Amino acid sequence: MRIRMPVPLRGWRQFAGEVGVIVLGVLIALFVQQMADEWQWRLKTEQARKDISQELAVNYGQAYERVQTQACMISQLNHLETVVLQSTTTLKPVPEFRDSDGYSAVYRAPNRNWLDTAWRSHVADGAASRLGRDNYIELASYYAGIPILQELNDASTEAVGSLSVLTNAIEVDAGVKADLLQTIARERARTRTMALRSRQLMEAIASLGYAPDQKEISNWMRGESRTIKWCETNRD
């Protein structure tokens, strides 16, 4: 028995031409889709770079604030320590300062939210990984330290609240004085640690090429930071 090959009604050449047109159309569609995907990723990557750059600028400013106020904060803590040490059975009250918005305390320290939202968002959507392998690794290393700074900041804020008791003429014994001195000593160590980490952070941001203009940061923080204003007004 002989098997006959099917013959297209209009000939093999015309059939092959029609198939070729279809294949070419598919390839063009795939190419266009690839180009569209690349364009979308380019837009996402540029947005990621912009968002992360803005976030790093804020963190840089907050690091600058910590470095600039370190000496002032240490001076405040030394004064509070002296008050506690010189108090006998009754604590000598420490005058509190008040802001125009009603905020008051005996110890002035910055309280900031250290940001990593943009980074985490663009890691999740994949755009951060397209910033370049080396850049991605360095950014990941930098951002790994942000939660530590936030923990230190929160502990410092807690110390501000704990030390507010120094506004009162309370009776103190050796145990109470020891607790107060320990709070002051821990906050002093924390202040030095945050200043050190802030310097390292500023260097890291600069090495990544994201450092904002130093003059702009200085002017911005002097207008934004109440701690810097207070320290400049109350210099010894």
What is the pLDDT averaged over residues 85-106?
Answer: 85
Residue 6 has pLDDT above 80, yes or no: no
Q: Provide the CB-side half-sphere exposure for 70 (13 A, CA).
A: 17
Residue 8 has pLDDT above 60, yes or no: no
Q: Provide the CB-side half-sphere exposure for 11 (13 A, CA).
A: 3
Residue 166: partners with Cβ closer than 8 Å, 6 or more residues away: 80, 83, 84, 91, 93, 94, 106, 180
Q: How are the residues of the chain apportioned to helix, strand and coil, as percentages rounded to the nearest 5?
A: 75, 5, 25
Backbone dihedral angles phi then psi of residue 145, each to the nearest 5 degrees = -90, -10
Q: Provide the CB-side half-sphere exposure for 231 (13 A, CA).
A: 23
What is the pLDDT averaged over residues 167-191?
Answer: 94
pTM: 0.81
Determine the Cα angle at 207 with ends 229 and 202, to 5°: 20
Closest C-alpha to 114, from 224, 201, 218 = 201
DSSP E strand stretches across 60-195: 97-98, 104-105
Mean of the per-residue pLDDT values of the chain: 86
Measured CA to CA, the distance from residue 86 to residue 90 in angstroms comes to: 10
pLDDT band of residue 151 (cuts 50, 70, 90) is very high
Sign, Cα dihedral of 57, 58, 60, 65: positive
C-alpha torsion 12→15→19→21, nearest 10: 120
pLDDT, position 20: 63
Determine the Cα angle at 12 with ends 7 and 16, to 5°: 130
pLDDT, position 104: 82
pLDDT, position 106: 92
pLDDT, position 227: 87
Measured CA to CA, the distance from residue 200 to residue 68 in angstroms comes to: 14
pLDDT, position 220: 76
* Whether the Cβ atoms of residue 208 and residue 56 lie closer than 8 Å to each other: yes
H or E element: which one contains 172?
A: none
Higher pLDDT, 34 or 111: 111
* Whether the Cβ atoms of residue 149 and residue 193 lie closer than 8 Å to each other: no
pLDDT, position 14: 65
pLDDT, position 164: 92
pLDDT, position 1: 53
CB atoms closer than 10 angstroms to residue 154: 13
Residue 5 has pLDDT above 90, yes or no: no
What is the pLDDT averaged over residues 72-84?
Answer: 96
pLDDT digits (tens, 9 = 90+) for 44-73: 889 999 999 999 999 999 999 999 999 999
